[in-house]
Amino acid sequence: MTANNDRPDRRFSQQDCPAVHLVVPIKPLHLAKSRLLGEGARRPEAHAELVMAVALDTVAAARRADGVAGIVVVTSDPALTAEFTAEGVEVLADLPAAGLNAALRHGDAALRARVARVGALQADLPALRPDDLGAAIRAAGADRSFCPDHHGTGTTLLLAEPGRPLDPRFGSGSADAHAGSGAKPLVGPWDSLRCDVDTEADLRAATALGLGPRTKAAIA
Ligand X SMILES: C=C(OP(=O)(O)O)C(=O)O
Ligand Y SMILES: Nc1nc2c(ncn2[C@@H]2O[C@H](COP(=O)(O)OP(=O)(O)OP(=O)(O)O)[C@@H](O)[C@H]2O)c(=O)[nH]1
Residue numbers of the site for ligand X (CB under 6 A)? 100, 149, 154-155, 170-171, 174, 196, 198
Interface with ligand Y includes 151 (CB under 6 A)? no
Comparing every residue's Cβ against ligand X, the nearest one is 154
> Rounded CA gap, 62 and 87, in Å?
13
Structural contact between residues 154 and 171, judged by C-beta atoms closer than 8 angstroms: no
Choice between 79 and 100, CB closer to ligand Y: 100
Residue 155 annotated as part of some ligand binding site: yes
Interface with ligand Y includes 156 (CB under 6 A)? no
Interface with ligand Y includes 90 (CB under 6 A)? no
Interface with ligand Y includes 34 (CB under 6 A)? yes
**Residue 145: closest CA among 120, 112, 122, 125:** 120
Helix H or strand E encompassing 18: none
Q: With CB cut-offs between 5 and 8 Å by kind, which of ligand X, ligand Y, none does residue 32 bind?
A: ligand Y
Residue 107 annotated as part of some ligand binding site: no
Q: With CB cut-offs between 5 and 8 Å by kind, which of ligand Y, ligand X, none does residue 74 bind?
A: ligand Y
Residue 40 annotated as part of some ligand binding site: no
Helix H or strand E encompassing 196: none
Residue 100 CB, shortest distance to ligand Y, in Å, is 4
Choice between 33 and 129, CB closer to ligand Y: 33
> Rounded CA gap, 130 and 127, in Å?
10
Residue 114 CB, shortest distance to ligand Y, in Å, is 20
205: exposed, middle or buried (Cβ count in 10 Å: 0-12, 13-18, 19+): middle
How far, in Å, are 1, 57, 84, 95, 137 from residue 208 at the CA level? 36, 16, 27, 36, 24
First-to-final CA distance of the chain: 34
Residue 175 CB, shortest distance to ligand X, in Å, is 7
Q: 210 in helix, strand or coil?
A: coil
Determine which residue in the list 53, 56, 74, 80 makes contact with ligand Y, applying CB under 6 A. 74
Q: With CB cut-offs between 5 and 8 Å by kind, which of ligand Y, ligand X, none does residue 77 bind?
A: none
Task: Write phi, then psi, for 47 (nearest 5 degrees).
Answer: -65, -45
Q: Which residue ranges are tagged as binding site for phosphoenolpyruvate? A: 155, 171, 174
Residues that bind ligand Y (CB under 6 A): 25-27, 32-35, 74-75, 94, 99-100, 103, 122-124, 198
